[in-house]
Amino acid sequence: MAQRLATEYVKTCLQLTEAEMLKFFQMFVDHQLALQVKVLENGNQEVVFQDGADGQEIVLSFEKKSGLYECTGSCRLSNTKLANLMRKAVSDFKGSAIVNRIYSAYTMVYTYAHGTVVKIEEIKGQRVTVIYEHKDTIGLLQQLFNRQEIEQEIEMIHDQINHLLDVRNMLQEPLEHEQVDVRLKELTHRLFVLEA
């Protein structure tokens, strides 16, 4: 199995309540990481997690916005323990991120949305291969439902066309035939558009 050289968290975004922030800190402390929190004047916080074994650290800035602490930023880690904790944090706290797992011959790119992996890509040189992509089942079902609405409109247009043809057959005046023909033309065009 290939040896991971580094893990890079790009465009990471976490939004935490104050209670979640304490759980977030505790998760890192439970894994024997040193924690330093610097509270700034405006309520923002700068947090440093450091692994005593190799001295590598993660520095995260949390900005206080509307009662939530929002962390946006990036970091590059070669320490597997820190990389796994960041992955767990993004997952547990429903964060979003683009994570590059860098190997000597290729890079695996994981895209997280709301704590879930939605896409995995492998990059080798200039070639990008999609390994996994989340399918939006609810969206597909919604499209299917919308198609049923179109089928109902098609059925309604068929009924209108049949009614107008019956009316046209009963009419005697050419001017009345013309008016019905104009409406029939509009309906058949709409039918053509819907069935296309």
Q: Are residues 184 and 116 in the same domain?
A: no
Say how far apart CA 108 and CA 6 lie, in whole Å.
Answer: 11
Q: Are residues 25 and 106 in the same domain?
A: yes
Q: Which of 134, 159, 185 is the last residue of a domain?
A: 134
- Tokens 């009419």 sit at which residue? 171
> Domains in the chain: how many in total?
2
**CATH code of 112's domain:** 3.30.160.110
Q: Are residues 130 and 142 in the same domain?
A: no
Would the pTM of this model clear 0.85, i.e. be above it?
no
Q: Are residues 20 and 57 in the same domain?
A: yes
The β-bridge partners of 12 are 73
Q: Are residues 23 and 77 in the same domain?
A: yes
Using alpha carbons, select from 114, 119, 55, 51 the residue that is nearest to residue 84.
51
Using alpha carbons, select from 106, 92, 190 the residue that is nearest to residue 150.
190
Say how far apart CA 134 and CA 9 lie, in whole Å.
Answer: 20
Range of the domain at 16: 4-134
Q: Which of 86, 109, 134 is the last residue of a domain?
A: 134
Q: Are 81 and 100 in contact (CB under 8 A)?
A: no
Q: Are residues 117 and 143 in the same domain?
A: no
Say how far apart CA 80 and CA 5 lie, in whole Å.
Answer: 9
Q: Are residues 103 and 160 in the same domain?
A: no
What are the pLDDT digits (tens) for 44-75? 889 998 887 788 888 899 998 888 999 988 89
pLDDT, tens digit only, all 196 positions of the chain: 578 889 999 889 999 999 999 999 999 999 988 999 888 888 788 999 888 778 888 889 999 888 899 998 889 998 888 999 999 999 999 999 999 999 999 999 999 999 999 999 999 999 999 999 988 778 778 877 776 777 888 889 899 999 989 888 888 888 888 888 999 999 998 888 887 7
- 85's tokens: 């904790």
